[in-house]
Structure 1
């Protein structure tokens, strides 16, 4: 049995744009086979775009007449059936009777999660503005369902590492902060201090515990590892880089931080070193356009500190840039502009320039008309 690839309420009809991974498309087996059949290639693409605005998104009806209509073939079902095997390559029939494409479903789940996160943001903002309570239980469940589906297809999707998604997966109510990493609270059995389903409900009635927390309780009694979703791994990106899974597999604990490397300070007129100023003067002496020296000094120091380029190389390229300006007659750039634009990496062309002179020059319209007559 194949479960649907997107939630039944996944609706992207208000999303006019659909993202396409171009390298992935050209490397696909569909492109390799459909490129030899232009009609199949066209129908395949049209059905992708049509599926984006179906409900649920990334799905199509399993009916040739409807598919023929969506592919804009009118009533020409015969032509559609001839190319269906190639045009519909990659589509899979799910338990709900609809066809799903895994690649389109991945893009749809990312957009659907972004849409749900925007609803959460708007709801929390309105609740704060009007000083009313925000009930996000339905949104939390929608986010959990979509995140579980996306994690199964692309666990490295960046949207899975967003704070709101992490809260929903960890059972933290929307609007509550993530657990503090500096002073985690809780008990030895629960080192994160995250309230369980029973504590949130305020009673010990098992029927009040959410489904995922009930599953965790059963696994704990059996001595198994606590997991909300069986496919979640410690390496999955549903946790922020600063959080990690504990030994039980589901608790948020501080991740071990590596040694912090010092980052150079941003150049200012007061922190330019003597060595940087000396190297700049050597570069300034050969740069062909000497204006805005102070701005060029700050840009030069910025390149030395952050771009990892040696000062002699900059001087060499500045001198070559001056020769190129004289060769081409191009207007020069200010020093700061040249440095900020990484112009030392330019591929300068010293090939001879061809002059384009008019074939004839006439002093009057009569001369021009006469010349045209003679040439005819």
Structure 2
């Protein structure tokens, strides 16, 4: 039996973080040409799909624990696991960290990670430029040269209407700074700031920092303001930040629908007619790609 030292290195590095990427691209041609589809029954293919979905949500992504009981549960195969495991686990390889990695999913994970890093870098550079535009030339120089400083501006979106230098914010009612990213162009404790300004200078950048696209974040909060008013939307945004769910867009959409007046939008899948145009799968484009 091969030792751990003889096994390949993990196919996805441990620092890859795809939280917010709630889906992966399915290459139909590659799937139909696979041994899984050629040799497996429809039920076995379903068990395999369940494992792929579970693997995508694991850390590192595209991996699974090498535990027969867990695999039986994750695949939904249950008592059938021993009979179907060889077919269902096609594409997975055991690596030196003791976890099983799916080769195709690992490729998708690495591609998604590279795109997320590029997006973060673009966002950080944009924020650094805004710092410079506000007259903070030294901050701009530091941001260009320091990865730590660059990360302060990661995923805050393209806030073109920013008018004040970036400051740390505090969510009302908490008594301490919340996990709002550094570089948001607002101070939530400033009594002179309107609820609308707080929504788009605090809540939207926080959502972008947590994997929601800038377009989706703005659309959701605009919808919240339309249905609940600016004050109600700001209160909802504060609750979102306090809860810090893994899927902010989905959480916000569900919370907003729960707060809307009874009977409004009755009979529709979503009570707010504009929500059907929003992609709740944070980090995924509307065409399903990363």
TM-score, length of structure 1 as denominator length: 0.34
- Compare relative contact order (CA 8 Å, sep 6+) and give the higher one, 1 or 2: 2
Larger Rg: 1
TM-score, length of structure 2 as denominator length: 0.44
